[in-house]
Amino acid sequence: MKSLEELREIREQAKKITSRYRVHVCGGTGCTSSGSPRMIKRLEEEIRANGLEGKAEIVKTGCFGLCALGPIMIVHPEGTFYSMVKEEDIPEIVREHLVGGRPVKRLLYEETTRSDHILPLEETNFYKKQHRVALRNCGEISPEHITEYIGTGGYEALGKVLTSMTPEEVIQVVLDSGLRGRGGAGFPTGLKWRFAAANEADQKYVCCNADEGDPGAFMDRSVLEGDPHVVLEAMTIAGYAIGASQGYIYVRAEYPIAVQRLEIAIGQARKMGLLGEDIFGSGFSFDIGLRLGAGAFVCGEETALMTSIEGNRGEPRPRPPFPALKGLFQKPTILNNVETYANIPQIILNGAQWFASMGTEKSRGTKVFALGGKIHNTGLVEVPMGTTLREIVEEIGGGVPNGRKFKAAQTGGPSGGCIPAEHLDVPIDYDNLTAIGSMMGSGGLIVMDEDTCMVDIAKFFLEFTVDESCGKCTPCRIGTRRMLEILEKITKGQATLKDLDKLEELCEHLSANSLCALGQTAPNPVISTLRYFRDEYIAHIVDKKCPAGVCKDLLRYRIDADKCKGCTLCARTCPADAIVGSVKEPHMISQDKCLKCGACMEKCRFGAIYRE
């Protein structure tokens, strides 16, 4: 690519739509696992069979966000949203909609049908409070065709930077925007770039952290699957800003669709001259390589990630020196995550004030969350910073299903904390989450209802951390295991109040003495659950009961003699022969034999069996 004019000619050509219909089919991981590739194949067959070649174009996109309703298909120009589409539904959609012009109402997303006309998506509860910046192209374009990205203004920001801005001006725009790193710590992005730019070296590097390891998090994966070029463009801009000529994207190998689309995107960008030598005739050269991670959670830490790229075991290094001075191959390096980069081109094109006008005073812009757990609308959402947890859970997420009550939300994954119902109306930003004992993290948001045991949740995250600790430093290697042992004692009813004191002491020790953020933040789920749900810990230790009825070792299944009819169905169902009694006489459960499986309670037709 030798000039902006050439890019703009391609953009104008890409914007010309020649077909009557553009049928967008989600090709993200969730919809792919639900059968969207088979849908696309059947759609191609039906379009040919109905003579619609040239009139209906199939666009395999990335994630639309509403993952709970996949596979998803949207027919443009109307924007008709079909949800939970099956392969066998395709002939009817083609016959009725693409040929007859009549939407198939039984397959429409229910939220769009709650009036006398079909509502546009942006007016539905899930979408109307969202503001998509990082996700703006996901579900809108084919991620495997660079011309579609260019058609939305793609690579225009890079052209602007290389032809009309100095590196210092680029960094100042990013600084003025207030963009903070979306990977967890929230460090000002422009400040990180300025530090690296100030350090002289014969080589510098730009790295992208796509090693998304938090349980329940899939934000970065979705951006890579739906809009890979935005990351390539942003990394190239960053390279120009700090004086680097090489970039690396570190992406986990468990993301095969993201990896494939990145490979395609890098190849297309090189072929079009948007990566490589003398980009836009500016004399600036930059290229990007992929490095696949093997799934080690610790490689989400910046120095461990760089050590892994170098070909060594992924272990963190002491800091200082920080990567801006000595990073990858001991050269000045910047590292940002996928979502951070996804904001950069729009900041350059629209200006720092545009971005800074969104969000809160200290947390500008928007944030992407992977919404999961006990929630109606599982999926991917992007909201302005400062949106309350209540708005996300009750309005966008549709609330907790089955009439259950909201109990807590976990943000920040194994490094974060649990937010109780009393803080539902706290505006979500970096500082507010820290103040209430949680953290932003990369953006996983797991909703829990009243049937969740908070001690068990803390144990779950400690089990994860113990498995993922690299073992380099003693506080993390030994301390997390000792913490897990205490939590296991608590959930088995074997702990004392002294164990609780010891657990809190270990939390303080790990936070203060671990080498990297994995160990320093590992106690957070324990600290936050102790802060807000201490009564549950006490119930496990003193009363030997799990209030939520989750911890099996503390459960007791009993039979109400007044309700039991002696039908023997429970005894015949029990896999451990733990239920005894004569026909037409009340039965009893032997606690020594009981497996706590609950099969008897499920089968009882008289409600005689209860759990305590």
Q: pLDDT band at 362, cuts 50/70/90?
A: very high
Q: Is pLDDT above 90 for 270?
A: yes
Strands 406-411 and 579-580: unpaired
Of 486, 504, 496, 499, nearest in space to 541 by CA: 496
Q: What is the DSSP letter of 322?
A: P
Contact 273, 279 (CB under 8 A): yes
What is the separation of C-alpha 537 from the centre of its chain, rounded to a whole number of angstroms?
A: 29
Contact 412, 446 (CB under 8 A): no
Q: pLDDT band at 510, cuts 50/70/90?
A: very high
pLDDT in tens, 547-569: 998 998 998 899 999 999 999 99
Beta-carbon count within 10 A of 271 CB: 11
Q: What are 539's two structure tokens?
A: 């119930």
| Mean pLDDT of the 400-408 span | 95
pLDDT in tens, 198-212: 999 999 999 999 998
Q: What are 285's two structure tokens?
A: 């050269």
Q: Is 76 exposed, middle or buried (0-12, 13-18, 19+ CB in 10 A)?
A: middle
pLDDT in tens, 101-137: 999 999 999 888 876 778 888 889 999 999 999 999 9
Q: Is pLDDT above 90 for 19?
A: no
Contact 380, 135 (CB under 8 A): yes
The answer to whether the bond into 320 is cis (omega within 30° of 0) is yes
pLDDT in tens, 154-179: 999 999 999 999 999 999 999 999 99
pLDDT at 413: 86
Of 470, 472, 475, nearest in space to 300 by CA: 470
Sheet holding 246-252, edge to edge: 287-293, 246-252, 205-210, 333-337
Cα radius of gyration (the chain)? 27
Contact 362, 429 (CB under 8 A): yes
Rounded CA separation 594/607 (Å): 18
Q: Determine the residue type at 572.
A: R
Contact 373, 216 (CB under 8 A): yes
pLDDT at 16: 82
pLDDT in tens, 141-157: 999 999 999 999 999 99
What phi and psi, each to the nearest 5 degrees, are found at residue 383? Answer: -130, 155
Q: How far is CA 397 from CA 269, 310, 330, 429, in A?
A: 37, 41, 45, 18
Instruction: Output the DSSP codes for 192-247.
Output: HHHHHHHS--S--EEEEEE---STT--HHHHHHHH-HHHHHHHHHHHHHHHT--EE
pLDDT at 215: 83
Angle between helices 228-242 and 167-177 (to 10 degrees): 120
Rounded CA separation 290/274 (Å): 17
Q: What are 555's two structure tokens?
A: 């459960």
Contact 524, 184 (CB under 8 A): no
b/e burial code for range 86-100 (CB count within 10 A of at least 16 → b): ebebbeebbeebbbe
Q: What are 588's two structure tokens?
A: 């009893």
Q: How many CA atoms lie within 13 A of 555 on its CB side?
A: 18
Give this prediction's pTM: 0.93
3-state secondary structure of 83: coil
Rounded CA separation 227/219 (Å): 12
